[in-house]
């Protein structure tokens, strides 16, 4: 929701500087200067939720994480170029050639970052709240790191058939789920491009990745349908006295 502001202001500043020169309207340079300042300010505000998503919502070791890195780097470079122009521009005089070139380059970088940002939302589903789509992830739990020991993975009664629980065990992401044949545990990372399987759907013992639709048998980890080619990691989980106990396979 915040992105249109820096995009419109900074693009507007480039266009106004160019239009002022072409139409010989020096007062437009002043409007461009104000738009540049508003664009830089609103870009810094829009960066805050972006940084939060980068560290908390983007799955590690995934295509989304490299895409998000390029997205952030392109935006940061564009704002840096625009800030350099803002610091050097003088009122009511045409932009020097390097100032115009820097602004055009910043507009190109912002366009690239915008495309990557759209792909992060529409393809990688970063920032999409899956609860309203009735997707599998319904609960998230943080546990301390486990070596070879069993860890208590919470109550089992509220895990219905085809529901998944995302566990952060130290720095590992593991899904505990119930199928028609009992409870299972498997890695949250799709072997295709790192999609979060806990955001996918589980049915008949098969989980489907939300990013490109790879399917995995959650008991054995084998690929039921591509594009993934490698199986996912599976772990041992048991149910006793209404609780789940998880033992991680070595990574
Ligand atoms: S990341 Fe492509 S199918 Fe899972």
pLDDT level of residue 14 (50, 70, 90 thresholds): very high
Q: How far is the CA of 117 from the centre of ligand 1 (A)?
A: 18
Q: What's the whole-number average pLDDT of the chain?
A: 89
> Which of 173, 189, 214, 216 for mutating ligand 1's site (highest number of atoms within 8 Å of CB)?
214
In the predicted model, what is the mean pLDDT of residues 32-38?
Answer: 95
pLDDT number for residue 133: 54
pLDDT number for residue 103: 96
Q: Is the pLDDT of residue 134 over 60?
A: no
Instruction: Return d(Cα 64, Cα 120) in angstroms, integer.
Output: 6
Q: Is the pLDDT of residue 59 over 90?
A: no
Q: Is the pLDDT of residue 203 over 80?
A: yes
What are the domain boundaries of the chain?
Answer: 4-122, 132-247
Say which residue the tokens 């109550």 belong to: 155
> Which of 175, 193, 229, 232 for mutating ligand 1's site (highest number of atoms within 8 Å of CB)?
193
Q: Is the pLDDT of residue 149 over 90?
A: no
pLDDT level of residue 126 (50, 70, 90 thresholds): confident
In the predicted model, what is the mean pLDDT of residues 216-231?
Answer: 93
pLDDT level of residue 115 (50, 70, 90 thresholds): very high
pLDDT number for residue 80: 97
Q: How far is the CA of 4 from the centre of ligand 1 (A)?
A: 29
Q: How far is the CA of 63 from the centre of ligand 1 (A)?
A: 9
**Ligand 1: nearest atom to the Cα of 62:** 1
pLDDT number for residue 232: 96
Taking Cα atoms as reference points, which of 13, 2, 126 lies closest to residue 78?
Answer: 13
Q: Is the pLDDT of residue 156 over 90?
A: no
In the predicted model, what is the mean pLDDT of residues 193-205?
Answer: 88
Taking Cα atoms as reference points, which of 102, 92, 101, 81 lies closest to residue 21?
Answer: 92
Q: Which long-range contacts (CB under 8 A, 24 or more apart) does 132-139 make?
A: 135/199, 135/200, 135/201, 135/210, 136/162, 136/163, 136/164, 136/177, 136/198, 136/199, 136/200, 136/201, 136/202, 136/207, 137/164, 137/166, 137/196, 137/198, 137/199, 138/163, 138/164, 138/165, 139/165, 139/166
What residue ranges line ligand 1, CB within 6 angstroms? 190, 192-195, 209, 211-214, 227-228
Q: How far is the CA of 196 from the centre of ligand 1 (A)?
A: 8
* CATH architecture type of domain 132-247: 3-layer Sandwich (2.102)
In the predicted model, what is the mean pLDDT of residues 107-129?
Answer: 90
């Amino acid at each position: 929701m915040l992105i249109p502001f820096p995009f419109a202001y900074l693009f507007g500043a480039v266009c106004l500087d160019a239009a002022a020169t072409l139409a010989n309207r020096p007062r437009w340079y002043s409007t461009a200067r104000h738009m540049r300042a508003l664009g830089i300010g609103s870009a810094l505000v829009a960066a805050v939720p972006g940084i939060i998503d980068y560290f908390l919502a983007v799955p590690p070791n995934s295509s989304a994480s490299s895409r998000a890195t390029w997205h952030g780097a392109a935006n940061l470079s564009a704002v840096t170029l625009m800030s350099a122009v803002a610091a050097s521009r003088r009122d009511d005089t045409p932009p020097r050639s390097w100032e115009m070139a820097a602004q055009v380059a910043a507009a190109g970088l912002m366009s690239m970052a915008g495309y990557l940002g759209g792909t992060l939302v529409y393809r990688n589903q970063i920032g999409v709240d899956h609860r309203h789509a009735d997707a599998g992830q319904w609960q998230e739990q943080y546990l301390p790191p486990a070596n070879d020991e069993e860890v208590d993975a919470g109550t089992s009664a509220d895990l219905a058939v085809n529901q998944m629980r995302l566990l952060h065990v130290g720095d590992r992401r593991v899904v505990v789920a119930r199928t028609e044949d009992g409870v299972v545990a498997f890695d949250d990372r799709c072997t295709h491009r790192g999609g979060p399987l806990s955001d996918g759907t589980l049915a008949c013992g098969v989980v489907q990745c939300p990013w490109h639709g790879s399917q995995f048998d959650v008991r054995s980890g084998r690929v039921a349908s591509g594009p993934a080619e490698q199986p996912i990691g599976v772990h041992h989980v048991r149910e006793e006295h209404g609780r789940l106990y998880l033992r991680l396979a070595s990574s």
